[in-house]
Amino acid sequence: MKPFTTRFAPSPTGRLHLGHAYSACLAHDTAQANGGVFLLRIEDIDQGRCRPEFEAGIVEDLTWLGLTWPLPVRRQSEHMAGYAAALDRLRQLGVVYRCFLTRREIMEQSMSAPHTLGEGPEGVIYRGPAQPMSHDEEDLRVARGDPFAWRLSIRYSQDLLGEEFARLVFVERQIGSNEEQIVTARPESLGDVIIARKDTPTSYHLSVVHDDALQGVTHIIRGEDLRASTHIHVLLQHLLGLPRPVYFHHPLLAGPDGKRFAKRDGAVTLAALRASGLSPADIRARIGLPA
């Protein structure tokens, strides 16, 4: 049996807050309790938003909390060739297509063709074009240098997989319980998600699935805000022939105002809490984890 391997995979787009501390410590403690491995992975494919000082802050904060992980840490921006190869595989399978629509155009389409859209956990759901773009038009737009995104087509995936598509499942478990639930994957609930872009051969969905397999991650412990994404990840794992980890989706911590911590709200950072005199044990007490 493969050793229990889990990871914490933050994006260095800001300083860590209590919600991150909870996710990281939970993954770390669960790995320890299972005699397993805890990995840190830096998800920095969005080079416009990620900054080296935030990556340094992540390492500093997690080290202060007492977490350890094997080196070197995988930094996604250094592995674009691997993601490009995975994208090529999806292209060979014929399950991705170039989409030249902007977000705004997709929104506008909702006026004329409401059946193509919906509101999903990741915002607007795009269900793909009524007709595929002609090769001539696609060639023209590529030659012209128009920006585009590669989207994973639910329809083409269903066509390729036939009945298997409806039988995709994953195992979900709760922390501290041995019970497991077999969940049927519903990738269609997210529509045709972006898998890569013209100048970046990957997106969150593709790189996370690629790396979890490459790094031998057997158990994924992450916030329940990513549960919807798991349905897409299961489809990608199947298409790419990758093993399927067991999933834990933990509740998101909320602050005293009842709102969950989020980087964009300027939630109190671990750095600020540390500066105010709190110890790692105080943090653990605040997030409800044993010392």
C-alpha neighbours within 13 Å on the C-beta side of residue 10: 28
Binder of ligand GLU out of 101, 171, 226, 246 (CB under 6 A): 226
Spatial contact of 6 and 218, defined as CB atoms under 8 Å apart: yes
Give dist(CA 276, CA 283) in Å, integer: 12
Q: Under the criterion CB under 6 A, does residue 11 sit at the interface with ligand GLU?
A: yes
Q: Which residues contact 182 (CB under 8 A, 6 or more apart)?
A: 169, 170, 171, 172
We find the least distance from the C-beta atom of residue 76 to ligand GLU, in angstroms, to be: 9
Give, to the nearest 10 degrees, the angle between helix 52-64 and helix 18-33.
60
> In angstroms, what CA-CA distances link 264 with 1, 82, 146, 253?
41, 31, 31, 15
Tokens of 259: 């709102």
Q: Under the criterion CB under 6 A, does residue 57 sit at the interface with ligand GLU?
A: no
Task: Name which of 166 and 214 has its Cβ closer to ligand GLU.
Answer: 214
Task: Name which of 43 and 61 has its Cβ closer to ligand GLU.
Answer: 43
We find the least distance from the C-beta atom of residue 160 to ligand GLU, in angstroms, to be: 25
Task: Name which of 12 and 280 has its Cβ closer to ligand GLU.
Answer: 12
Q: Is 242 helix (H, G, I), strand (E, B) or coil?
A: coil
Task: Name which of 126 and 248 has its Cβ closer to ligand GLU.
Answer: 248
Tokens of 247: 């999933």
Give dist(CA 3, CA 65) in Å, integer: 24
Q: Under the criterion CB under 6 A, does residue 280 sit at the interface with ligand GLU?
A: no
Stretch touching ligand GLU by CB under 6 A, among 4-12, 178-186, 192-200, 241-249: 4-12
Phi, psi of 25 (to 5 degrees): -65, -40
We find the least distance from the C-beta atom of residue 190 to ligand GLU, in angstroms, to be: 14
Stretch touching ligand GLU by CB under 6 A, among 6-14, 44-52, 137-145, 254-262: 6-14
Q: Under the criterion CB under 6 A, does residue 267 sit at the interface with ligand GLU?
A: no
Give dist(CA 215, CA 21) in Å, integer: 22
Task: Name which of 5 and 11 has its Cβ closer to ligand GLU.
Answer: 11
Q: Under the criterion CB under 6 A, does residue 236 sit at the interface with ligand GLU?
A: no
- The residue written with tokens 């790396």 in the block is 211
What's the one-letter identity of residue 25?
C
Stretch touching ligand GLU by CB under 6 A, among 5-13, 28-36, 45-53, 89-97: 5-13
Give dist(CA 217, CA 222) in Å, integer: 13
Q: Under the criterion CB under 6 A, does residue 222 sit at the interface with ligand GLU?
A: yes
- The residue written with tokens 């022939």 in the block is 241
Q: Under the criterion CB under 6 A, does residue 14 sit at the interface with ligand GLU?
A: no
Q: Under the criterion CB under 6 A, does residue 208 sit at the interface with ligand GLU?
A: yes
Give dist(CA 268, CA 184) in Å, integer: 37
Q: Under the criterion CB under 6 A, does residue 211 sit at the interface with ligand GLU?
A: no
We find the least distance from the C-beta atom of residue 230 to ligand GLU, in angstroms, to be: 9
Residues contributing to the site for ligand GLU (CB under 6 A): 9-11, 43, 208, 222, 226
